[in-house]
Amino acid sequence: MRSRAVGDAIVTAAGHRNDADVVLRAADALRAGEVVAIPTDTVYGLAAALNRPDAIDRLYAIKGRASEKAIPVLISDTTHVHMLTPRLSATAAHLARSFWPGALTLVLAALPDLPLGVTALAGDGVQTVAARVPDNGLARAIIAAAGGALAVTSANRSGAAPALEACEVIGLGLSPPLLVIDGGRVPGGVPSTIVRTTSERPEILREGAIPASAIAAAFAEIEPGPGYDERPRYDQRIEEDERNDLLEASP
């Protein structure tokens, strides 16, 4: 492993996706309450441990993000979803099996003890959390080593384009300095598709890398009850603020 100081940030150059030293260094920093920049399968993200509300607060400060806009959670594998939600419906479980790891964010009913910074009150009064398993081996290894789940938001100032390379994170000029894990250039492009699954009938909040037709096809594979409408709902009347909050936050 080699590291170098660049301006106000520290960059750790990972030799390959399973560099154990890099993973350990990132996990140690996260457990100590630091914000760490990590690569994902879409953009670079700013990560904080769920049990460190001070670090989550710093995420908001770095982004210049309004406190009412929740930060999504990335988990290392599907089994860790139970750290976030008291129940996983048949719909949500099937979608997770079908598209995780990958560009699908599931909005789930949240456990009551989750930090306020990662939960949001949906229009139906349900407290929710947005979760995803990224299709990036280095990101998943870091998340697993740090406990299985991290609050992660895109590495950028609120309203600006997210970073696709470590040097772009450094270019944000953040102070105090962050640990930036250099996993090379990430794909960027189309963001994740967001599906709310707080009921048995899924609701597409944002169509992204996974098309609505693929969500519908996966949902059709579930054995429906008598007279049940198995089509996912894409409600154009969803509050625009809710769409925009998820759009900006989800890496």
Question: Per-residue pLDDT tens for 49-87?
Answer: 999 999 999 999 988 888 888 999 999 999 999 999 998
**41, amino acid identity:** D
Question: Per-residue pLDDT tens for 126-142?
Answer: 999 999 999 999 999 99
Please tell me what DSSP assigns to residue 48. E
The DSSP result for 142-209, as a single string, is HHHHTTSEEEEEESS-TTSPPPSSHHHHHTT--SSPPEEEE------SS--EEEE-SSSS-EEEE--S
**Percent of the chain residues past pLDDT 90, beyond the cut:** 57
d(CA 37, CA 58) in angstroms, rounded, equals 13
Determine which of 107-121, 174-188, 212-226 has the lowest per-residue pLDDT on average: 212-226
- Whole-prediction pTM: 0.86
The DSSP result for 191-245, as a single string, is --EEEE-SSSS-EEEE--SS-HHHHHHHHHTS-PPTT---SPB--TTS-HHHHHH
- Give, in order, the Cα–Cα distances in Å from 154 to each of 44, 67, 71, 248: 6, 16, 9, 8
Domains and CATH numbers, the chain: 2-249 (3.90.870.10)
Query: Which DSSP helix (H) or strand (E) runs through 39?
Result: strand 36-39
Cis peptide before 176 (omega within 30 of 0): yes
Determine the pLDDT at residue 115.
95
Q: Taking the CB of residue 53, how many other CB atoms lie within 10 A of it?
A: 16
Hey, is 81 helix, strand or coil? helix
Question: Per-residue pLDDT tens for 107-117?
Answer: 999 999 999 99
Phi and psi at 117, nearest 5°, equal -65, -15
Task: Tell me the pairing of strands 73-75 and 127-132.
Answer: parallel
